[in-house]
A and B are shown apart, each in its own frame.
Chain A
């Protein structure tokens, strides 16, 4: 069967730089950082005490009722409903609200509804809900557990809640592939449209693992930055020789994908076309990337093949680039190998330097950054890249955004378990 074309018609962001696509994007391009000390739970005994926290109207991470881009949970849903969801679902719902409103996705008729689906993933799901429930169970017994524990923490309940709220009756799906989740969600959702299962998909990733359990766990795996607790904005420094681990972020990125002809016919604003998607596995180690970056290489290669492109067609790469000692260089070498001589024309940056690593939301948030880079002809910067640990011909956009006409972008996401995804977007034509 011939596959249908899939385009992006709506974007929604909840990030450590704030909420709302244009607010976040302008702060990102200006080189602002969303990273800060964690103040909302005890961190004194934790190796890492900093993170990329979503600013809130209650004051968290510099937010406030009059501060642009602050999340107001009460504006997303009434308090009575809020107890039914973990924060990752809250973030996913807020991002989905923005993306759907932004796209003007028609959802009035039954036909519209049954042809529109949801596929929002999360790497971890409701970690704080599970932690709190475990303590209740241990200290007070099973009869004291809330009936909302399970629906609050289940990963696919982000999709479930969004579908209930907006009446989306098409495919209701989810993805769980650690830090590749957001990229896999968008790629898989595009295929559901391409193969005719739906005409529109609300898709992306959501995460809220900035909790004591999340920090203790990732620190035990020696994955987090520990040397910058007194200087949070300098902690996420992909490719820099002083990088010492990732800084966790939280939030959500959600896009609306639509079948091209339908989007065009209804006069939707088309931001980009999803033209390539590649997936691979490392088959190597539970947390470490394969030594030669082979898995990432093959994911990018598969994405190029499905797009009918070569490396020369890609103008900007939004890197996975988590600021871990090992991963950054392996990805960089894999990109160099794939792009060959064309690497010198390439700009590649890691926006994790600004917002941290949003785990299961990262791929979706970064896909949106990639699309906006193409729209505005500007590659967002890699902050804190003072001294690259290796020489490269690739322009890593240190400190400052780079202006460049962009026709196609590739966004990488690699996750624990050796799961890799690359997505390619082309400018709307």
Chain B
């Protein structure tokens, strides 16, 4: 879990150019981290790449926070 969180955090910091300490589990990509809808699409693509998984569009729609991403990825890669 912590490994997934750290890797998600690294991607979010790189893509959204935000401070590391802002990337907490409950942080919303759009409301707290300054992303727009296109950033969200790109983040999901980056998660797919990093974890070698596929995130279907309907699942991606529900990934709104850092915690959502970590949870989905952890379940997929478990």
Chain A residue at minimum C-beta to C-beta distance from B35: A80
User: Which one of B23-31, B38-46, B64-72 contacts A?
Assistant: B38-46
How many angstroms from the CA of A151 to the CA of B38 in the assembled complex?
10
- A131 on interface, CB distance cutoff 8 Å: no
User: Which one of A78, A79, A84, A147 contacts B41 once the chains associate, using CB atoms below 8 Å?
Assistant: A147
Whether A148 sits at the interface, judged by CB under 8 Å, is yes
Output the least CB separation between A259 and chain B (Å): 35
CB atoms of A147 and B16 under 8 A apart? no
- Check B42 against A146 for contact (C-beta < 8 Å): yes
Interface membership of A3, Cβ < 8 A: no
CA distance A79 to B54 in the complex (A): 27
Q: Does A40 contact B (CB under 8 A)?
A: no
A80 touching B17 by the CB < 8 A rule?
yes
Q: Please determine whether B42 and A147 come into contact, CB atoms closer than 8 angstroms.
A: yes
A266: CB under 8 A from chain B? Answer: no
Complex-state Cα separation, A199 to B67, whole angstroms? 49
- Interface range on chain A: under 10, 10 to 19, 20 to 34, or 35 or more? 10 to 19
Q: Mark A305-332, 1 if CB is under 8 A from B, else 0.
A: 0000000000000000000000000000
| Contact (Cβ within 8 A) B45 A79 | no
Given known A80-B15, A80-B16, A80-B17, contact A144–B45 (CB-CB < 8 A): yes
User: Do B38 and A148 touch across chains, with their CB atoms under 8 A apart?
Assistant: yes
* Cβ contacts under 8 Å, B45 to chain A: 143-144, 146
Of B17, B38, B48, B54, the residue contacting A147 (CB under 8 A) is B38
Interface of chain B, helix or strand or loop or mixed?
A: helix
Q: Mark A70-92, 1 if CB is under 8 A from B, else 0.
A: 00000000111000100000000
Give bound CA distance, A313 to B18, whole Å: 58
What's the Cα separation between A151 and B36 when bound, in Å? Answer: 14
Contacts of A144 in B (CB 8 A): 45
Q: Cβ of B42: which chain A residues have Cβ within 8 Å of it?
A: 146-148
Nearest Cβ distance between residue B30 and chain A, in whole angstroms?
A: 14
B48 to A, closest residue via Cβ? A143
Residues of A with C-beta under 8 A to B16: 80
Inter-chain contacts of B54 with A (CB < 8 A)? 143
CB distance from A316 to the nearest CB of B (A): 46
Contact partners of B48 in chain A: CB under 8 A: 143
Please, which residues of chain B bring their CB within 8 A of the CB of A79? 17
Smallest Cβ-Cβ distance to B40: which chain A residue: A147
**Contact B17 A78, beta carbon cutoff 8 Å:** yes
Given contacts A146-B42, A147-B41, 6 further A-B contacts (CB under 8 A): A79-B17, A80-B16, A143-B48, A144-B45, A146-B45, A148-B38
Which B positions have Cβ atoms within 8 angstroms of A? 15-17, 38, 41-42, 45, 48, 54
Residues of A within 8 A of B (CB): 78-80, 84, 143-144, 146-148, 151
